[in-house]
Amino acid sequence: MTSYVEGYPVKALIIEDSAIETMVLSAMLRKFHCEISTAKNGKEAVQMFLEGKKFDIIFCDKDMPIMSGPEAIEKIRALGEIHVKIVGVSVGDNAQEAFMRVGVDEFVPKPMKLDVVGAIIQEVIKKKKNNETV
Amino acid sequence: MAATMKLGTLGHAASMLSTGLLDEQFQKLLLLQDGSDPNFVAETITLFCEDGERTIGELTKQLDKRCVNFDEVAAFVHKLEGGSATVGAQRVKNTCIQFLEFCKEKSRDGCLKTLDTLRVVFYDVSGKFKAMLQLEQQQAEATK
């Protein structure tokens, strides 16, 4: 399955403090040929946006040191990044509510499944294609 | 199952699945391995074993303190819960869930008892993972 749109790969940012979970999600995203960037906590992620980096999709964990996922998402959206698709991911209860409150587009419980990741990437590609033709 | 894993290792994994040590998430992990990423499973489970050992060490230290910070304890357990869920280490994950309940209750005794259980289930699965990787390596050497 390709995630190329007119030669451009889907740019994905993983915000996750667990190296194992980053490794596994990265392996899934590589199946869809995504260009992958990672941040170990919310603060690193916000810094990337302050440096002008752009992404098509963010997968964001909830509980991280220094800055949590919901806090980072609030700041990222406040920077004007309203079009980037943000997926909140967590293994705990109550995470969905915390994410939806700050404006994520979707919540997916951990562990993430390949077909779920694939469906999300396909949505992003479709949106990119629609934006290209406008 | 991943074509790049040897039959012996797959048999090892199958026995861990049938005893409930692992769940179907581990099978999904195997499917992520392919020719372009032939060491993916080995690297992931090695990292799980190393991280898990570090976390258990930290939990022991935290619960040894006179004044236990249960939020900090919960943060470590939560991380191990996530990692174990990701690799399919079902018993470790379930023990972490129980552990988090005792953290919520701020029960030092409950946490200490569950840490003992966590040690047993973690070292059981990590020992079997290491044996599986050793077998995989031996089989790879034998086919060279």
**Sheet of strand A106-109, all strands in order from the earlier edge strand to the far edge:** A35-39, A11-15, A57-61, A85-90, A106-109
Q: Name the interface residues of A facing B (CB cutoff 8 Å).
A: 17-21, 23-24, 27-28, 30-31, 61, 63, 65, 91-92, 110-111, 113-114
What pLDDT score does B106 carry? Answer: 97
CB-closest option in B28, B79, B83 to A114: B28
Degrees, nearest 5: CA angle A44-A50-A52? 115
Kindly report, residue by residue over B74-105, the tens digit of the pLDDT: 999 999 999 999 999 999 999 999 999 999 99
pTM of the predicted model, to two decimals?
0.90
CA dist., res. B16 & res. A127, Å (int): 42
Structural tokens at position A50: 């302050």
Phi-psi region of A52 (alpha: psi -120 to 50; beta: other; left: phi over 0): left
Kindly report, residue by residue over B14-49, the tens digit of the pLDDT: 888 888 899 999 999 999 998 888 899 999 999 999
Query: What residues form DSSP beta bridges with A4?
Result: A9
Structural tokens at position A94: 């109550």
CB-CB contact of A18 with B83 (8 Å): yes
H helix or E strand, kind and range, residue A28: helix A19-31
CB-based contact, B40 to chain A, within 8 Å: yes
